[in-house]
Amino acid sequence: MGLQEQKQHFSVNLLDWYMVNRRDLPWRRHNNPYFTWVSEIMLQQTRVDTVIPYFNRFIGNFPTVQALAEAPEEDVLKNWEGLGYYSRARNLQAAARQVMELHGGEMPQDKPAVFALKGVGPYTAGAILSIAFNQPQPAVDGNVMRVLSRYFLIDEDIMKGSTRVLMEELAGELIPEGRARDFNQALMELGALVCTPKAPHCLTCPVMEQCSGRIAGRELTLPVKTKAKPPRPEQRLVAIVEGRGAHRGQVLVRQRPDTGLLARMWELPHVLAAPAAASKKAAPLADEPAMALLAGSLWAEGFAARPEGLATHAEHVFSHIVWSLQVYKCTEQDQSSELPLIAAEARAAYDAQAATREGTASLSAVSPESDTMHSSEPGTPNAQNISTSLNDGEMLMSSSDVSDLALSTPTLTGKGDGLTYRWIGPEDMDKMAFPNIFLKLISSYFAGAYDQVND
- Closest listed residue to residue 398, CA positions, set 71, 87, 38, 82: 71
What is the C-alpha to C-alpha distance for residues 3 and 23, in angstroms, rounded to an integer? 30
* Alpha helix stretches (DSSP H) within 358-446: 399-408, 436-446
What is the C-alpha to C-alpha distance for residues 98 and 442, in angstroms, rounded to an integer? 38
Backbone angles phi, psi at 2, to 5 degrees: -80, 175
Asked if residue 206 lies in contact with residue 17, where contact means CB atoms within 8 angstroms, the answer is yes
Q: Is 234 part of the annotated catalytic residue set?
A: no
Asked if residue 424 lies in contact with residue 253, where contact means CB atoms within 8 angstroms, the answer is yes
Q: How far is CA 97 from CA 39, 60, 341, 420, in A?
A: 18, 19, 54, 30
What is the C-alpha to C-alpha distance for residues 407 and 88, in angstroms, rounded to an integer? 31
Opening angle at CA 83, ends 81 and 84, nearest 5: 95
What is the C-alpha to C-alpha distance for residues 268 and 122, in angstroms, rounded to an integer? 39
Opening angle at CA 397, ends 392 and 402, nearest 5: 140
Q: What type of residue sits at position 413?
A: T
What is the C-alpha to C-alpha distance for residues 357 and 363, in angstroms, rounded to an integer? 13
Asked if residue 441 lies in contact with residue 240, where contact means CB atoms within 8 angstroms, the answer is yes
- Number of Cβ atoms within 10 Å of the Cβ of 283: 16
- Number of Cβ atoms within 10 Å of the Cβ of 348: 11
- Closest listed residue to residue 57, CA positions, set 30, 38, 36, 84: 38
- Closest listed residue to residue 240, CA positions, set 303, 323, 331, 301: 331
> Of the residues 5, 40, 377, 394, which is catalytic?
40
What is the C-alpha to C-alpha distance for residues 175 and 181, in angstroms, rounded to an integer? 9
Opening angle at CA 61, ends 58 and 62, nearest 5: 80
**CA end-to-end span of the chain:** 74
What is the C-alpha to C-alpha distance for residues 4 and 108, in angstroms, rounded to an integer? 34
Mind telling me the catalytic residues?
40
